[in-house]
Amino acid sequence: MADYVFPFEKLEVWKLSKNFATKIYKNTENFPNEEKFGLVSQLRRAAVSVASNLAEGSSRKSKKDQAHFSQIAYSSLMEVLCQLEIAKDIGYISENDLQDLRSDASKIAYMINSLRRSQTC
């Protein structure tokens, strides 16, 4: 018997968001210990929130509810970008790592916006 695939697991944007969260975890592994409960925690929670809100939104019956969770996912993504810029300015991540993560975030943002538009029609 094949395992059941939940609707959110079929979303390409969810898959990219999950991978993005994993990259955030890996990029924050070497942040200073004093940032464990600061920037590291904030970045990780916000990155996980992107994928989590896409998953939660996919379970909602109304398009309005689905769009609401897509908006929250997008907002969390913007929070991650802000925090990555701060982390780069402080010297916790390199310009190359920042650009790699920004590239991923741009793709995810575009896909979330497309998803949200389809939910408001």
pLDDT of residue 120: 87
pLDDT of residue 121: 74
pLDDT of residue 51: 98
Matching CATH number, 8-119, of 1.20.1440.60, 1.10.287.3510, 2.40.10.120, 3.30.360.10: 1.20.1440.60
pLDDT of residue 1: 53
Task: Characterize 31-66 residue by residue with b for buried, 16 or more Cβ atoms within 10 angstroms of its Cβ, and e for exposed.
Answer: beeebeeebbebbbebbbbbbbbbbbbbeeeeeeeb
pLDDT tens across the length of the chain (121 residues): 568 999 999 999 999 999 999 999 999 999 999 999 999 999 999 999 999 999 999 999 999 999 999 999 999 999 999 999 999 999 999 999 999 999 999 999 999 999 999 998 7
The residue type at 22: T
Q: What is the pTM of this model?
A: 0.94
